[in-house]
Amino acid sequence: MIKLKSAYCLCLILLSTIVYGQGMTDSTFILNQVEIKAKRNINERGLNITKIDSLVIKKSANSSLSELLSKHSPVFIKSYGQGSLATASFRGTAASHTQVEWNGININNPMLGQVDFSLIPVYFIDEVLLFHGGSSMQKSSGALGGSVIVNSEPEWTKGFNADLIQTVGSFGTYQSYLKLKTSNNKILLDLRLFSEQSKNDFQFYNNANGLFNYENQQNSNYVKNGALLNTYYRLGENNLISVNIWGQMANRNLPPIMSYEGTGRDEYQKDSELRISGKWKLYKNKFKSELNSGFSKTNLDYFLANNTPLGMFISYDSKSNTQSLFNKYSFEYKPWAKTIIAGMVNFNYHKVHIFENREQTGYDKTRSETGMKLSVHREFFERLTVYGLVYSEFVDNSFAPLMPSVGLEFDVLKNQNLYLKSNFTRNYHQPTLNDLYWLPGGNVDLRPERGYTGDVALDYSFRKDASLTINASIGGYMSRINDWIIWRPGEYRFWQAENIKEVFARGIEATLSGRVVVSEFDFEFFTNYTFTKTTNKEETLPGDNSVGKQLIYIPLNKANVMFSTGYKGFKFSYNLALIGERFTTSSNEITRHVLPAYSLHDIYLGKEMFVFGKALEVQFRINNLFDLDYQAILWRAMPGRNYKIFVKISI
């Protein structure tokens, strides 16, 4: 942890920069207010969609997507520690039940079926959308919990622009970001680079080794580097071609769990990804179409060895790579003013190679996926909108049953912005390639997981000119997933994948946000709360004590609170994350490693100014303000109070 003297130095740097910037120029500008009113698009009504505010995305530029979702969405992020694996549990489902789409292509690993959200920098993202439950069928099948959609968006400002961000933080953490953008009326080029490294050697309280002492995190340093190139070309007023290329690598040493008592170990993971997405968007009268093709290639190397009296013993040494091709065509047609017909056809192809050197096992497999969707949205009487959707899918020439979805939205109080929404969906999630072919234990006879989901919600919004805005939403859902795939010990002493579980998930999601402008003060607040009850409904083994019990690592309660204020370029923000207790055993035994609830408090103070005609932003952040000792995953150490200085220059 940075010494107290270092913290004082950082504060002095921040304050001196603020004073110097104030002396240079007055950065306050008053703009005329413009109010725009519009009804929601017909094809979005009846759906449960959350859009993360663009200002929040910009404020979180030096964060990972896992941190953004953890603080500003109902999604629960299961994190193994700073810089380590972070997966999502959407509405109490498994990590593979959350589908992630980047600029029109799916980036879930076809081997594991999941995404490591810690490897996605927010700096590369302009838009984040969450499609809850059955609403995810608008994008693809398989998202039994929901979908996370991240996009790049063009910003057509003429000329050349550049942003440079540098951060310095606790535990030897350094982050550098660079954005170069140039555009005219027809062409836009947007290049973004990032580099992050950290010793990650924070001190933690070890309550797992029997000594109850303080230790420094070992073997936990990491390096991440990436580049994103966005290119856009306007063929006409309603005709746009874009190509997005994203390359990234990460080398991470993985620390041992707190209870490890060995003499030493060497554990690391190396990830590299290349993703390319190309789009052609065409808008013409009542017709809108989008053609999307993409390619992705990933490599993952994992190594684990332990020191023994006889020398280094290699436990695991695997290398895997995947290659995927994506093709999708979608359209929207508006034959009448209150009707939209939409369709989609996609074809994806995956090729996977994995080999484990120690056991000399692995597999080479391919998978092809073809999907077709047709939907109709229709508005009746100006207050009621209904929709119907059907999705069909072929996987390796095997036909999956039809997946229907129906929903409605009703304007409860005419012109008062109070809406009742509801939908019901049947969905299927295919087994991952590891589930099918991993040696030993894969099961080629696995059935797709079947999900049935129902939602109901109330949305309300209020606006009084530009001085007051309030948005509120509360809803509930129920989801039943049959043939849930789990790995359990088999009769031949190794773990096997089987369709065993029947899981019942239900819960409540509520959000409240708003903005108040008083004189020169700008106040914003945001809060959300989720109650998630996910239980196993059937025995997996005779005498199974997990029946009716909460699934492991899924908190019953989760909440976020954010408050920020701005005044003449000064900004202050406070974030609170509340995570309820989590069970680490399927039987929910309170005497065995129950992780207690915890709350994390983060604050930052910043100033925006102009220096020599250039925009400058400086921030000082404190994370885990009250130096809480906590564990997100059993025996995985998490950092205490830590600091970060953030400096951004724009030209």
CA atoms within 13 A on the CB side of 183: 20
The C-alpha atoms of residue 519 and residue 277 are separated, in whole angstroms, by: 45
Query: Higher-confidence residue: 546 or 169?
Result: 169
Annotate 160-221 with DSSP letters as a single string.
Answer: EEEEEEEEEETTTEEEEEEEEEEE-SSEEEEEEEEEEEE----EEEE-SSSS-EEEE--S--
What does the alpha-carbon distance between residue 151 and residue 132 come to, in Å, rounded to a whole number? Answer: 17
pLDDT digits (tens, 9 = 90+) for 48-96: 999 999 989 999 999 999 999 999 999 999 999 888 999 999 999 999 9
Q: Quick one: DSSP state of residue 136?
A: G
- Confirm if 393 and 428 have CB atoms less than 8 A apart: yes
Query: What is 283-330 written as a DSSP string?
Result: EETTEEEEEEEEEEEEEEEEEEEEEETTEEEEEEEEEEEEEEEEEEEE
The rounded percent of the chain whose pLDDT value lies above 70 is 93
Question: For the chain, which residues make up each domain, given as ranges?
Answer: 4-28+42-650
**The pLDDT of residue 467:** 87
pLDDT of residue 180: 97
Q: Which residue has the higher pLDDT, 348 or 34?
A: 348
Beta bridge partners of 1: none
Q: Sorting pLDDT into bands at 50, 70 and 90, what band is 18?
A: very low
- Structure-block tokens of residue 240: 């746009």
Across the range 475-489, mean pLDDT stands at 92
Residue at 323: amino acid letter? Q
Please tell me the predicted confidence (pLDDT) of residue 305.
Answer: 93
Residue 345, H or E segment: strand 339-356
Residue, of 622 and 537, whose pLDDT is higher: 622
* DSSP-derived secondary structure letter, 121: B
- d(CA 343, CA 328) in angstroms, rounded, equals 11
CB atoms within 10 A of CB 337: 8
Compute the distance between CA of residue 49 and CA of residue 55 in angstroms, rounded to an integer. 18
Identify the residue whose tokens are 């039809």. 402
Q: Is the model's pLDDT at 201 over the cut of 80?
A: yes
List the beta bridge partners of residue 49: 131
Q: Which residues contact 466 (CB under 8 A, 6 or more apart)?
A: 33, 35, 517
Q: What is the DSSP string of 518-582?
A: ETTEEEEEEEEEEEEEEEE-S-SSTT-TTBTPBPTT--SEEEEEEEEEEETTEEEEEEEEEE--B
Q: How far is CA 81 from CA 87, 91, 577, 643, in A?
A: 11, 22, 16, 17
- Whether the pLDDT of residue 348 is over 90: the answer is yes
* 256 Cβ contact list (under 8 Å, min separation 6): 218, 219, 262, 265, 267
pLDDT average, residue stretch 126-137: 96
The CATH superfamily assigned to 4-28+42-650 is TonB-dependent receptor, beta-barrel domain (2.40.170.20)
| Measured distance CA(508)–CA(553) in Å, rounded | 18
Which tokens is 20 given? 């110097």
DSSP character for 34? -
Average pLDDT of the chain to the nearest whole number: 90
Tokens in use for 122?
């927010």
Q: How confident is the model at residue 397, as a pLDDT?
A: 82
Instruction: State the pLDDT at residue 491.
Output: 67
**DSSP 8-state code for residue 494:** S
The residue assigned the tokens 């004189």 is: 519
Query: Residue 340: which of 376, 382, 373 has the closest Cα?
Result: 376
What pairs with residue 372 in β-bridges? 345, 392
Q: How many CB atoms lie within 10 A of CB 8?
A: 10
pLDDT in tens, 273-320: 999 999 999 998 899 999 999 999 999 999 999 877 777 889 999 999
Q: List C-alpha distances in Å: 310 to 263, 264, 303, 306, 628.
A: 12, 13, 19, 11, 40
Q: Is 369 helix (H, G, I), strand (E, B) or coil?
A: strand
- Between CA 250 and CA 270 the distance in angstroms is 6
Query: Distance of CA 626 to CAs 10, 60, 392, 489, 619, Å?
Result: 19, 21, 51, 42, 19
Q: What is the pLDDT of residue 515?
A: 94
Q: Which two tokens stand for residue 303?
A: 């190594």
Whether 262 shows a pLDDT value over 80: the answer reads no
Question: Which residue blocks in 26-93 are alpha helix, DSSP H?
Answer: 54-59, 65-72
Direct distance between the N- and C-terminal alpha carbons of the chain, in angstroms, rounded to an integer: 34
Task: Give the span between the Cα atoms of 123 and 230, in whole angstroms.
Answer: 13
HSE-up of residue 79 (Cα within 13 Å, Cβ side): 25
Q: What is the pLDDT of residue 493?
A: 67
